[in-house]
Chains A and B, each alone.
Chain A
Amino acid sequence: AQSVTQLGSHVSVSEGALVLLRCNYSSSVPPYLFWYVQYPNQGLQLLLKYTSAATLVKGINGFEAEFKKSETSFHLTKPSAHMSDAAEYFCAVTPNTGFQKLVFGTGTRLLVSP
C-alpha cells in the first residue's frame, strides 16, 4: 500500500525566500512520485514527477524535488518565491508496477508575502 504525508498544512514565506514543502512517502514497491499545484477553483497542474530516473527532478516554474530513498522523502523546493507561487500543493504517489491510482497527501497551502 502507498501513502503520503505532507508536513505542514500551511507554509508562509516572503517573496524572494526559499520555498521548501515537505513530502514523505510510504510504499511497498518502488514508487512514482508527483507534485501538483492547484490554484483556487481549478484542477491540478503537474509540477514535476519522479519515475525512477534521475533523483533530482526539475519541474516547471523553477521548482525541483529530490527523491531520497533512505529518507523516503520527495521534498519540493524553489530558490526564490514569487507572489504567483501562492497556491495549494499536493504530493502524490503511485506504485511503478504499471499504472494504478494516485494517492494524494493532504496538501500544503503556500502563502507568499511581499
Chain B
Amino acid sequence: GAVVSQHPSWVICKSGTSVKIECRSLDFQATTMFWYRQFPKQSLMLMATSNEGSKATYEQGVEKDKFLINHASLTLSTLTVTSAHPEDSSFYICSAPPLSSYNEQFFGPGTRLTVL
C-alpha cells in the first residue's frame, strides 16, 4: 500500500523557536496533502490543505503566519510552527490522497510536538 512518512516523529523545543515537520509520500505522488492536529484523546482537526505549487488553504481559525505550509514537490509538504508556544504542543498528522485515487487518503505516523 501507499506509504506516507513524517519527520521527525517527535520533537521538543523551547518556547519562541520554530519547528519544521516534513510529510513525504514515499511511493506515490500527491498534488494535495492535508495537515491535521490532534489533541490528547480528541479527534483530528483539519488545519490546512497543502497544494503543490500554490498557496495552502487554511481552515477557519488557523493562523497562516504561525503555521507555514510549503508544498514544494509532488512528494513533500512541510509544516513550520513559528514562534512556538506551549499551547502548540500537540500531535500533528499529515495525509495524502494519491493522484490515482481520489477517494482515499494515506496517513503519516504523526509528529509529537512538545513546546517547553
Contacts and interface: CB of A to CB of B under 8 A. Distances in A.
Interface of A: 32, 34, 36, 41-46, 49, 51, 90, 94, 96, 98-99, 101-102, 104-107, 109
A90 B36 CA distance: 14
B44 A104 contact: yes
A99 B109 contact: no
A99 B43 contact: no
A5 to B, nearest CB: 12
Contacts of B67: none
A107 B42 contact: yes
- In this complex, the interface size class of chain B, counting residues with CB under 8 Å from chain A, is 20 to 34
B108 A43 contact: yes
Best-surrounded residue of B6, B34, B49, B107 (most CB of chain A within 10 A): B107
Most chain B CB neighbours (cut-off 10 Å) among A51, A99, A106, A109: A99
Main secondary structure, interface of B, reads strand
Contacts, number: 50
A109 to B, nearest CB: 8
Contacts of B93: 43-44
A49 to B, nearest CB: 7
A45 to B, nearest CB: 7
Given A43-B93, A43-B107, A101 B34 contact: yes
A109 B41 CA distance: 9
B105 interface: yes
Contacts of A41: 91, 110, 112
A15 to B, nearest CB: 24
Contact of A106 (B42, B104, B105): B42
Contacts of B112: 41
A94 B103 contact: yes
Contact of A96 (B6, B42, B46, B103): B103
Given A42-B110, A43-B109, A99 B103 contact: yes
A34 B32 CA distance: 19
Contact of B109 (A42, A94, A104, A107): A42
Contacts of A109: 41
Contacts of B102: 98-99
* Most chain B CB atoms below 10 A, which of A44, A90, A105: A44
